[in-house]
């Protein structure tokens, strides 16, 4: 089986090749993202394998279908970049990796928060230059703070476990309540009351038409003055211009991001020698109370192993007609 892997970095190649030994899968790796301009590269393959920022729009899916490609395999959990209805119309199957070491993203969420709060990124650079002043490094204890978790699926639950260990009070919001979350002592709240009660708010729900710009001007208005917002889920959950306004007015006390709504133009590439054209992103970088990483929440040995093995199983299972239901995206009719 010939599989075209798009947006392939050296680590994708290493993990996929390692776990595909002794299988009938032959991977071809393309560093470029899948897009209307690059889709021609998929001609002659049996399946494509894509990541979070590959373009799986209606037009791209149609071209893939014209090449006879009926299986779009995602090596990620989120699928907001796929025109699902179009895939259903074309008879294409979309598979994904629904869970890969949820702790990888959960632990990164805490890494971001602790960096933002205790300013370890600034302290590290200061100490390197023999500057041992503590001026400007003041943080606060997480213990006793009220933390809001929006989305308590696999990652949200792992985040709840970690914050519970820090001695935080936990308020959660999710249309589906988890027994495990309730047993940890957390409480479910309507979104509005969660927003107004929390010192820290962390987003772990998927990006859907309903959650697009979940954090906008009106949501920020309801937040506690000085609250901290963390987004390690999908950039589109946050209206970036609204948070910039809230950072400028000091309504928001800090912002930690691993994802950004226009990240497909930036993340996963070394642009250190380029002039960045995204002025909104550049403005975000100017705030002393903003910490951003480039979508690396998933980037651990454990998660990459899980991604590679599940991806390979999905490819083989599609061929034998035995895809695990939880790995296939069920598409409701329009
Ligand atoms: P999951 O599917 O296990 O959980 C998502 C939860 O969000 C579900 O419990 C669902 O009921 C809930 N939800 C849906 N709509 C909601 C709403 N309007 N308000 C509140 N909750 C809502 O997904 P998982 O594995 O926990 O991943 C969560 C998200 O994390 C993914 O959708 C993806 O966008 C992101 N992610 C980020 C990564 C990174 O590297 N930064 C890596 C992997 C996932």
**pLDDT tens string 266-275:** 999 999 999 9
Pocket flag, ligand 1, residue 204 (CB < 6 Å): yes
**pLDDT tens string 17-70:** 999 999 999 999 999 999 999 999 999 999 999 999 999 999 999 999 999 999
Residue among 75, 96, 261, 263 flagged as catalytic: 263
334 is a domain residue? no
Claim to verify: residue 107 and residue 254 sit in the same structural domain: yes
**pLDDT tens string 166-214:** 999 999 999 999 999 999 999 999 999 999 999 999 999 999 999 999 9
pLDDT at position 101 is: 86
Model confidence at 222: pLDDT above 80: yes
pLDDT at position 109 is: 98
Which residues does 305 contact at the CB level (< 8 Å), separation at least 6?
15, 19
**Beta strand 71-74 pairing with 169-173:** unpaired
Residue 215: strand pairing partners: 238
Claim to verify: residue 69 and residue 201 sit in the same structural domain: no
Indicate which atom in ligand 1 lies nearest the CA of residue 150: 20
Answer whether 172's CB lies under 8 Å from 147's CB: no
**pLDDT tens string 36-48:** 999 999 999 999 9
Q: Cα of 206 to ligand 1 centre, how many Å?
A: 4
Claim to verify: residue 93 and residue 201 sit in the same structural domain: no
188 is a domain residue? yes
**pLDDT tens string 133-156:** 999 999 999 999 999 999 999 999
124 is a domain residue? yes
The CATH number of the domain holding residue 43 is: 3.40.50.720
Claim to verify: residue 280 and residue 136 sit in the same structural domain: yes
Residue among 75, 234, 261, 306 flagged as catalytic: 234
Claim to verify: residue 273 and residue 138 sit in the same structural domain: yes
333 is a domain residue? no
> What domain count does the chain have?
2
Q: Cα of 13 to ligand 1 centre, how many Å?
A: 26
d(CA 236, CA 218) in angstroms, rounded, equals: 16
Which residue, 83, 109, 76, is CA-closest to 258? 109
Q: How far is CA 252 from CA 147, 204, 256, in A?
A: 15, 19, 11
pLDDT at position 66 is: 98
Residue 50: strand pairing partners: 74
- Dihedral of alpha carbons 233, 235, 237, 242, sign: positive
- Please indicate whether residue 263 is annotated as part of the active site: yes
**Model pTM score:** 0.92
Pocket flag, ligand 1, residue 100 (CB < 6 Å): no
Claim to verify: residue 61 and residue 137 sit in the same structural domain: no
pLDDT at position 307 is: 96
Q: Cα of 242 to ligand 1 centre, how many Å?
A: 22
Tokens standing for residue 16: 């996929």
d(CA 243, CA 29) in angstroms, rounded, equals: 37
Q: Cα of 172 to ligand 1 centre, how many Å?
A: 13
Residue 170: strand pairing partners: 147
The residue whose CA has the least distance to atom 1 of ligand 1 is: 153
Pocket flag, ligand 1, residue 176 (CB < 6 Å): yes
Indicate the pLDDT class of residue 334, thresholds 50, 70 and 90.
confident
Indicate which atom in ligand 1 lies nearest the CA of residue 173: 20
Claim to verify: residue 311 and residue 266 sit in the same structural domain: no
Q: Cα of 190 to ligand 1 centre, how many Å?
A: 17
- Other Cβ atoms within 10 Å of 105 Cβ, number: 25
Claim to verify: residue 109 and residue 180 sit in the same structural domain: yes
61 is a domain residue? yes
Give the total residue count for the chain: 334
pLDDT at position 177 is: 97
Any idea what the Cα angle at residue 266 is, between residues 265 and 272, rounded to 5°?
135
332 is a domain residue? no
Claim to verify: residue 232 and residue 314 sit in the same structural domain: no
Pocket flag, ligand 1, residue 158 (CB < 6 Å): no
**pLDDT tens string 241-298:** 999 999 999 999 999 999 999 999 999 999 999 999 999 999 999 999 999 999 999 9
Claim to verify: residue 50 and residue 112 sit in the same structural domain: no
Q: Residue 41: give the domain boundaries.
A: 2-100+301-327
Claim to verify: residue 112 and residue 43 sit in the same structural domain: no
Indicate which atom in ligand 1 lies nearest the CA of residue 208: 15
d(CA 252, CA 263) in angstroms, rounded, equals: 22
187 is a domain residue? yes
pLDDT at position 100 is: 85
Pocket flag, ligand 1, residue 96 (CB < 6 Å): no
190 is a domain residue? yes
Claim to verify: residue 216 and residue 256 sit in the same structural domain: yes
């Amino acid at each position: 089986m010939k599989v075209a892997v798009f947006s392939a970095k050296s680590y994708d190649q290493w993990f996929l090749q390692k776990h595909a030994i002794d299988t009938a899968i032959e991977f071809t790796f393309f560093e470029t993202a899948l897009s209307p301009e690059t889709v021609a590269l998929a001609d002659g393959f049996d399946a494509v394998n894509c990541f979070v920022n590959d373009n799986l729009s209606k037009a791209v899916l149609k071209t893939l279908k014209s090449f006879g490609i009926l299986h779009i395999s995602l090596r990620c959990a989120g699928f907001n970049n796929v025109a699902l209805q179009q895939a259903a119309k074309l008879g294409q199957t979309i598979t994904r990796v629904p869970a890969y070491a949820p702790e990888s993203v959960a632990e990164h969420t805490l890494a971001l928060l602790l960096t933002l709060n205790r300013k370890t990124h600034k302290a590290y650079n200061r100490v390197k230059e023999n500057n041992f002043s503590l001026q400007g490094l003041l943080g606060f204890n997480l213990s006793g703070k009220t933390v809001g978790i929006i989305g308590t699926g696999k990652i949200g639950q792992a985040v709840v476990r970690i914050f519970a260990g820090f001695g935080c009070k936990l308020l959660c919001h999710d249309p589906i309540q988890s027994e495990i979350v309730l047993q940890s002592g957390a409480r479910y709240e309507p979104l509005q009351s969660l927003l107004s009660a929390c010192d820290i708010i962390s987003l772990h729900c998927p990006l859907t038409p309903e959650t697009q710009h979940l954090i906008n001007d009106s949501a920020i208005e309801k937040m506690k003055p000085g609250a901290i917002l963390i987004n390690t889920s999908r950039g589109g959950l946050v209206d970036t211009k609204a948070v910039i306004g809230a950072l400028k007015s000091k309504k928001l006390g800090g912002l930690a991001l691993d994802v950004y709504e226009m990240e497909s133009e930036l993340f996963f590439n070394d642009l250190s020698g380029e002039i960045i054209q995204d002025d909104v992103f550049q403005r975000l970088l100017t705030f002393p109370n903003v910490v951003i990483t480039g979508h690396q929440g998933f980037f651990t040995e454990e998660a990459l192993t899980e991604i590679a093995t599940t991806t390979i199983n999905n490819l083989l299972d599609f061929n034998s007609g035995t895809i695990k239901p939880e790995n296939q995206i069920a598409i409701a009719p329009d």
